[in-house]
Chain A
Amino acid sequence: MPKMNLSHFEAAILFALFASVVLGVITKRTDSDRLRYGIRCFAYFVAALIGLGWLMKLGHG
């Protein structure tokens, strides 16, 4: 199997995407609610990713 080298950002975005899809699929009761929840989860993941990234950068000095 080929080895894959992803950056931090790419790996975290893929993680967020797959986790959001599953969370959206299993959580709500209608398809439109599932879609909305999945998109919202993904947005929260990305916001946390960027926020924590900046926090670490600023904390590191």
Chain B
Amino acid sequence: MATNAKVQPAAEPARGWYGTVLLAWLVPGAGHFLLKRPWRGALISASVLLMFLLGLMMRGTMFQPQTGDVLTTIIYCGGFVGDLASGLLYLLTVWLGYAQPDMAGFDHDYGTKFLVAAGLLNVLAMVDAYEIATKKKD
């Protein structure tokens, strides 16, 4: 039996987003530069970089993954992932020997939050770069 239903063209496969997302992780904002969105890339890059640097200048602590009770696991493993999400900023900082112990004081605490938040903002930028690279977003 012949069908006269229209055949929908297959969606164009997403290609090449791996490199974009990897670059967006390693260098905040670089994914957008690669995708020819220089102003958006510059704003993301400046925001993440400044937030990370402020975190360092406030002597924030880098999380190390720890397990134990649920709350400890969530805070320390989640914090580690957040720190790691800053890409080269985190890797360079650790390789250059930054090892601030956890200290009392609200400025250290803010610093720790700034470091994690910089990574989380970079995750949002990576998702945005992925969506642009796969043409889910213009």
Q: What residues make up the interface of A, taking CB atoms closer than 8 Å to B?
A: 1-6, 8, 11, 14-15, 18-19, 21-23, 25-26, 29
Nearest CB on B from A16, distance (A): 11
Per-residue CB contact flags for chain B residues 28-59 toward chain A (1 = under 8 Å, else 0) read 00000000000010011011101100101111
In the complex, which residues of chain A have a beta carbon less than 8 angstroms from the beta carbon of B138?
A: 29
* B124 touches which of A1, A8, A11, A22 (Cβ 8 Å): A22
B107 at the interface (CB under 8 A from A): yes
Pick from B1-9, B11-19, B110-118 the stretch touching chain A: B110-118
Nearest CB on A from B36, distance (A): 15
In the complex, which residues of chain A have a beta carbon less than 8 angstroms from the beta carbon of B47?
A: 18-19, 21-22
How many angstroms between the C-alpha atoms of A25 and B126 in the bound complex? 12
In the complex, which residues of chain A have a beta carbon less than 8 angstroms from the beta carbon of B110?
A: 6, 8, 11, 15
Nearest CB on B from A11, distance (A): 4
How many angstroms between the C-alpha atoms of A8 and B109 in the bound complex? 11
In the complex, which residues of chain B have a beta carbon less than 8 angstroms from the beta carbon of A2?
A: 57
In the complex, which residues of chain A have a beta carbon less than 8 angstroms from the beta carbon of B127?
A: 26
Q: What residues make up the interface of B, taking CB atoms closer than 8 Å to A?
A: 40, 43-44, 46-48, 50-51, 54, 56-59, 106-107, 110, 113-114, 117-118, 121, 124-125, 127-128, 137-138
A4 and B43 contacting across the interface, CB-CB below 8 Å = no
Give chain B's interface secondary structure class. helix
Given contacts A22-B43, A25-B44, A26-B128, contact A1 B121 (CB under 8 A): no
* B57 touches which of A3, A8, A21 (Cβ 8 Å): A3
Given contacts A2-B57, A6-B58, A25-B43, contact A18 B51 (CB under 8 A): yes
